Amino acid sequence: MPFAAFWGALAALGAWVGFANPYVQFPAAVLALPLGLTALGMNAASPRRAFKLAWIAGSLACLGCLAWVYWPVHHFGDVHWLLALPVPVLLSMAMGVYHGLFGLGAHYASKRLPPLAALLFLGVSWCVMELAMGSLLSGFPWLTLSAAFVPWLAMVQPAAWVGALGLSGLFAIASAGPLFWPRSKACALISLVVLASIFGLGTARLNSFEDLGKRHTVAVVQGNFDQSLKWDPSFQQETVQRYVDLSREVIAQSKPDLVVWPETAMPFYLQDETTLRTPVLRLAREAQIPFVVGSPAYLMRPGNSGYTLFNRAFLVNGGAGVSSWYDKEHLVPFGEYMPLAQYLPLQKLVQGVGDFEPGRDQKPLVSGDLALGVLICYEAIFAELAQDRVSQGANLLVNISNDAWFGATSAPLQHLQLATLRAIEQGRWLVRSTNTGISAFIDPLGHIQLAGAQFKPLAGVGTVHPRAETTLYHRLHTALRIGLCATLALFVGLMVLPGGRKNSKNRGRR
């Protein structure tokens, strides 16, 4: 097999097996992704070829992990399968650009920096690459390298100190180090030291962590309604009744302090005084328990000029009724709003309502000594949103989602593992309630408790501990990101300046 084909195939296969999927996941395999990209970049005959090879390998890696995108586009976007098939391909090719740039950086670093500096550059580059993935063009930080290691909890504990992003950079260093063996045995040794340190420190945190906060019992309800029927008016009453019945059962059995329903669990405007919302308010009043309830919402614009729509989480507080709410801030393009709607002949994937608008300056939902930092749907994949919730005083994270969009694909598992990173980064319990699964309780160490089965109704109970302490990552969040970008800029400057060029011959041209 040609050199480039070998490393490209290794990178793609490593991503497919390393990231969560319904078949088999072996987390360590994901290290083949930065390993393969680095090898392609280092040994390419030219910068252009380095970018091209790494872009192709990165695109293939993304395609295997993001093939699930076809499902919502075809089944819920009413897009013919011939037009839906290219969507994950195009998305993966766009994501592959980031990997191409990483390969380009590996090419220049191997030629113009000493081995140890080049290895550090690769780690910093991977961090900034993931930061860019989560920030540019609305952001899509779905394939975070460290998320693959969530099944091995000892390997993700350092996220509490350096974040998932910083941890991904450490994994990139550990992966790429052996490639410098002919020039620097120290780089290969550093790889072993990094992996051993991650495991050792992670194990120590697992064994020393104590959760001494006040205990609260929380219930999550998973209604399990088919996405194609969710917004059908004839199913609205059945939807309400199922959530009410499941909640009554779990309240009678465990008397929870809080009940959480999924994103848009109520497929109507809960704020309106209708017969559909009556059973919900009656249940909260009779039980004297606060409920988090997902529902679309609206705000009348001045002068009867129309409505502004929101994807909202209501806090229904016993006898007080609807007391507060959170409006989703980071909306899904093509799912909750249509970018460039005047140019693209497509419709949104979410049926039943128009384009949503993002919420602004959101605060925790407070009930007693619980301050709920709400993350709706894929907001859980954005580290900065969980950071904001805790900065605003949240002592418990609540992720409500409707993963029915994804069907029986890799996406619900990948989504769950990304949400787990938020719990570890912020040192907070995370309560997750979804329409069709995977609902779960996740502790600050990342232990996934409950993890209800997909596509089955569920009323599950867990014990959580609201926490006021903040992690080192939370305190250094902004400084870490600025420092990484500044370090990358410094390395780029060293490589661009004539004095930073190495005089050695290019090796291993392919």
Residues annotated as catalytic are 263, 328, 377
Q: What six digits make up the tokens of 433?
A: 């309630």
Helix (H) or strand (E) holding 325: strand 322-327
* 355/117 Cα distance (integer angstroms): 48
Contacts of 280 (CB under 8 A, 6+ apart): 240, 243, 244, 266, 270, 291, 293, 316
Q: What six digits make up the tokens of 302?
A: 């001045």
> CA triplet 85, 434, 276: central angle to 5 degrees?
110
Cα distances from 289 to residues 220, 259, 415, 458, in angstroms, run: 13, 7, 29, 19
* 174/428 Cα distance (integer angstroms): 28
In one-letter notation, the amino acid at residue 470 is T
* 335/80 Cα distance (integer angstroms): 17
Q: Find how far residue 197's CA is from the centre of its chain.
A: 25
Q: What are phi and psi of 481, to 5 degrees?
A: -70, -40
- Find the helix packing angle between 185-208 and 159-176, rounded to 10°: 150
What Rg, from alpha-carbon coordinates, does the chain have?
24
Q: Find how far residue 138's CA is from the centre of its chain.
A: 14
Q: What are phi and psi of 325, to 5 degrees?
A: -160, 165
Q: What are phi and psi of 479, to 5 degrees?
A: -60, -35
Contacts of 174 (CB under 8 A, 6+ apart): 31, 190, 191, 192, 194, 195, 198
Per the CB < 8 A criterion, the answer to whether 366 and 37 are in contact is no
* 146/390 Cα distance (integer angstroms): 21
Cα distances from 195 to residues 37, 198, 362, 482, in angstroms, run: 19, 5, 38, 25
Q: What's the residue count for the chain?
A: 510
User: What are the b/e assignments for 451-463, b being 16+ CB within 10 Å?
Assistant: ebebeebbbbbbb
* 462/431 Cα distance (integer angstroms): 9
Q: Which of 111, 128, 125 is nearest to 44 (CA)?
A: 111
